């Protein structure tokens, strides 16, 4: 099997890897912020329901969640009921990462000194102005390192999609290696290294840009 055909096959799998990664971020980042507001709510029932939800999601394996989302509806309501593979994986990934992101958001927001809120209120600023003009950029700086770690982990977690036979890059490499080739496994590793290397450079640049915010 030629190098070109191997790389083309891996690129097809890498397409699904990128699709899962990008769509998970697009939906999990804002959803995580919403969940974090729920976990910080002064309304106790909402706060405890939200924190229990986050505890369950963070306390169970992502692979198990993917299996439940894909196979669960059919097992509960009967054969033929359920979603396609990609939507099932996306739902599981989005919910899982939104729960993790929510805790990062919560720690960032609660880490801003209370005195800054009070000083802004003395100046006559409204809650919306305080959040967007005083708090937001400080929160972004605080959460950048843990958020970048979670996003890099997401890149590698996309390999779990193969548990329901989505042909992402690891599954394609495994299928090729089953034909007696070991090189596809190293090529797949190279794809991940390049992808994560680019993300690391991007996050490093963003952190340097935020250096002027003292926290």
Whether 215 is in a domain gets the answer no
Return the structure tokens found at 182: 């070991």
pTM (two decimals) = 0.89
Domain with 151 in it: what CATH number?
Answer: 1.10.3720.10
Whether 11 is in a domain gets the answer no
Contacts of 74 (CB under 8 A, 6+ apart): 80, 81, 82
- Please name the residue ranges forming H helices in the chain: 3-39, 44-59, 62-77, 85-110, 114-122, 127-129, 136-157, 169-177, 183-209
Whether 185 is in a domain gets the answer no
Residue 172 near residue 96, CB atoms below 8 Å: no
Whether 201 is in a domain gets the answer no
Whether 212 is in a domain gets the answer no
Q: What residues make up the domain containing 121?
A: 16-167
pLDDT digits (tens, 9 = 90+) for 24-66: 999 999 999 999 999 999 999 999 999 999 999 999 999 999 9
pLDDT digits (tens, 9 = 90+) for 96-132: 999 999 999 999 988 888 787 778 888 888 878 887 7
Whether 180 is in a domain gets the answer no
What's the pLDDT at 30?
Answer: 95
Q: How far is CA 24 from CA 11, 136, 156, in A?
A: 20, 22, 13
Whether 206 is in a domain gets the answer no
Dihedral over Cα of 119, 125, 127, 133: its sign: negative
pLDDT digits (tens, 9 = 90+) for 131-187: 777 777 788 888 999 999 999 999 999 999 999 989 899 999 999 998 888 899 999
pLDDT digits (tens, 9 = 90+) for 184-199: 999 999 999 999 999 9
Query: How many Cα neighbours within 13 Å face the side chain of 116?
Result: 18
The total number of structural domains that make up the chain: 1
Whether 10 is in a domain gets the answer no
Q: Rg of the chain's alpha carbons, rounded to an integer?
A: 21
């Amino acid at each position: 099997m030629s190098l070109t055909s191997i790389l083309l096959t891996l690129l097809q799998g890498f397409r699904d890897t990128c699709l899962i990664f990008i769509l998970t971020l697009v939906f999990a980042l804002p959803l995580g912020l919403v969940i974090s507001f729920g976990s910080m709510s002064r309304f106790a029932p909402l706060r405890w329901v939200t924190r229990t939800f986050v505890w369950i999601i963070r306390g169970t394996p992502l692979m198990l969640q993917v299996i439940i989302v894909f196979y669960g509806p059919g097992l509960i309501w009967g054969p033929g009921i359920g979603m396609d593979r990609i939507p099932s994986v996306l739902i599981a990934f989005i919910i899982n990462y939104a729960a993790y992101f929510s805790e990062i958001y919560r720690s960032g927001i609660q880490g801003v000194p209370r005195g800054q809120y009070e000083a802004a209120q003395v100046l006559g600023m409204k809650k919306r102005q305080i959040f967007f003009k005083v708090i937001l950029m400080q929160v972004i700086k605080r959460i950048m390192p843990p958020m970048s770690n979670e996003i890099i982990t997401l890149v590698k977690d996309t390999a779990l999609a193969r548990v329901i036979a989505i042909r992402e890059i690891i599954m394609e490499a495994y299928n090729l290696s089953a034909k007696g080739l070991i090189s596809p496994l190293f090529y797949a590793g190279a794809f991940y290294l390049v992808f994560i290397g680019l993300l690391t450079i991007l996050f490093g640049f963003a952190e340097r840009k935020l250096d002027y915010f003292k926290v």
